[in-house]
Amino acid sequence: MKPGMRVLLGWALVGGGLMHAVAGDAAAPSAASAAATAQLDRELAAVVNDPQHPLSGLSVLAIRDGKVAYQQQFGLRRIDTAGTGSTAPVTPATMFRIASISKMMTTFGLMKLVEEGKLALDADAGSYLGFPLRNPHFPGQAITLRHLLTHTSSLRDDAGYSWGADTALRDVLLPGGGKYGSGAMWAQGSSAAPGAYFTYCNLNWGVIGTIMERASGERFDRLMKRLLLAPMGLRGGYNTAEFSPAEVADTATLYRKRTTDTEVWNPAGPWIAQVDNFGVAAPAAPAGIGGYAVGSNATLFSPTGGLRISAPDMGKIMLMLINQGRHEGRQILKPDTIRLMFSEQWTNNGKNGDTLRGLYHSWGLGAQRFPDVPGSGNRLVQGGGFSAVGHLGEAYGLVSTFAVDLERRNGLVSLIGGFGTDPESYPGRYSALVRSEELILTALYRRAVLGRTD
């Protein structure tokens, strides 16, 4: 066992007892549930410390019948890669940049504005932006928020999906704009009209965030604080420059054993910080933010992937959804809003979308649907049985899962902080997920949700 692996395993074992005390209630656990929990601890620690495919850190949570059944953390949120002495374990307070699950969180904020009558899902999105939002290959067809939320807008990521404070989205999206270039952000072809074809696109959420700013008059990061985070007492947010010192200290650095420039993996080498390396340098405000014009370009705050939040706080959001939009006596979202958001808006029929090896099978509004179809790429647990809605995320080494069965009131949260080997070299055996994800989600479901010890 390598020294680094001993450190990771040591922190995993230290964290175990603490997390079970937090997750448990006053009643003593049954012998069967205690055995399942101990077995789950061992299985997850083994995934994190796999010498062939190690993970830098992991935070997980499972909900059974509307209650938190298991919370646990493994590994490190800070690794001393620069001789600063900043090594620190993953804890319940550790926040991760959750990548594309941020899209679903952004959608919760958007739907609040819909509830307030400030936005309409089927209105022409250009009417909110202040300039025409039209695919020049289909100039007569309006693009709506529903199209943006279901990845059927005909926008593509080929020309990028994030720009600085000195760039306005109108200059990117309008023909003749200073950043329009060859117009690679617009799909072409007879099947690419708005509403006709599903292609996962990050740029959709840059447009959505900008629309939210235009509708509210508030900067996106602060708007999301007001609409979602503050009402639920959640820590973190979309702009680390406005974090408290405690929040900065609790933000995990994301790692890979891969260079950041040449993208060369070296599983035998050191962990390399990819983003949020706050043990070395404090977070900086986005360049030019002082002169930023609200409603011009919300990609500055990454509505598509920039939320930092902890697994326990994601569990609070999951319980809010399970409880018909209520959190601690407060109505966060209306029940009808939740039903609409997770209802089927697009389903793959074999010719109406790019499924990314079967990963995308069904979609709601800003949320993925996991209908547990045998042989599909988006089956979440081995052997099936867990039909869910939610979202997945992957960026800068992090791989994340938020999946909830609203009918049975069960759910899983998994936040992997970094991979020691190329995830593409460790594919799943029954899905389009990475094998590490499969092992984590299946163990959580079997032990914490079903309580199985076999």
pLDDT for residue 32: 67
Percent of the chain with pLDDT over 70: 93
Q: What are 299-342's pLDDT values in tens digits? A: 999 999 999 999 999 999 999 999 999 999 999 999 999 999 99
In a domain, residue 324? The reply is no
What's the mean pLDDT in 190-201?
94
pLDDT of residue 19: 41
Taking residues 347-352, report their average pLDDT. Answer: 95
Q: How far apart are CA 444 and CA 103, in angstroms?
A: 24
Label residue 29 by pLDDT band (50, 70, 90): low
**Confidence tier at 277 by pLDDT (50, 70, 90):** very high
Instruction: Mark whether 184 and 268 lie in a shared domain.
Output: no
Report whether pLDDT(9) > 80: no
Are both 14 and 117 inside the same structural domain?
A: no
Answer whether residue 232 is part of any domain. yes
User: In this model, does residue 392 exceed pLDDT 80?
Assistant: yes
Q: Taking 80 as the threshold, does the pLDDT of residue 208 lie above it?
A: yes
What per-residue confidence (pLDDT) applies to 82? 78
* Residue 315 located in a structural domain: no
Q: What pLDDT was estimated at residue 114?
A: 98
Interval 91-108: pLDDT, tens = 999 999 999 999 999 999
Q: Is residue 332 one of the residues assigned to a domain? A: no
Q: Please give the mean pLDDT across all residues of the chain.
A: 93
Residues 251 and 222 in one domain: no
CB 300 within 8 A of CB 241: no
> How far is residue 335 from each of residues 233, 313, 324, measured CA to CA in Å?
20, 20, 5
Residues 85 and 195 grouped into a single domain: no
Residues 447 and 40: their CA atoms lie apart, in Å, by: 6
What's the domain count of the chain? 2
Same domain for 295 and 390, yes or no, is no
Tell me: do 77 and 145 sit in the same domain.
no
**Per-residue confidence band for 202, with pLDDT thresholds at 50, 70 and 90:** very high
Task: Verify that 139 and 157 share a domain, yes or no.
Answer: yes
Q: Which domain holds residue 117?
A: 97-239+285-309
Question: pLDDT, tens digit, for every residue of 51-90?
Answer: 999 999 999 999 999 999 999 999 999 999 878 777 999 9
- The answer to whether residue 431 sits within a structural domain is yes
Q: Is residue 328 assigned to a domain? A: no
What percent of the chain is modeled with pLDDT above 90? Answer: 88
pLDDT digits (tens, 9 = 90+) for 121-154: 999 999 999 999 999 999 999 999 999 999 999 9
Do 8 and 50 share a domain, yes or no? yes
CATH number of the domain within which 159 lies: 3.40.710.10
If asked whether residues 258 and 389 sit together in one domain, one would say yes
Does the structure show a pLDDT above 80 at 28? no
Distance, CA of 113 to CA of 136 (rounded, Å): 29
Residue 356 lies in a domain: no
Q: Could you tell me if 85 and 180 lie in one domain? A: no
Exposed/middle/buried for 249, CB within 10 Å: 0-12, 13-18, 19+? middle
Whether the predicted pLDDT of 7 surpasses 50: no
Strands 398-405 and 388-395: antiparallel
Min mean pLDDT across 28-42, 211-225, 335-349, 374-388 is at 28-42
The residue ranking higher by pLDDT, 397 or 262, is 397
In a domain, 317, yes or no: no
**Per-residue confidence (pLDDT) for residue 377, from 0 to 100:** 86
Residue 11 confidence (pLDDT): 41
**Average pLDDT, stretch 431-439?**
97
Return the half-sphere exposure (C-beta side, CA atoms, 13 A cut-off) of residue 153: 33
**Shared domain check, 122 and 262:** no
Q: Are residues 235 and 111 in the same domain?
A: yes
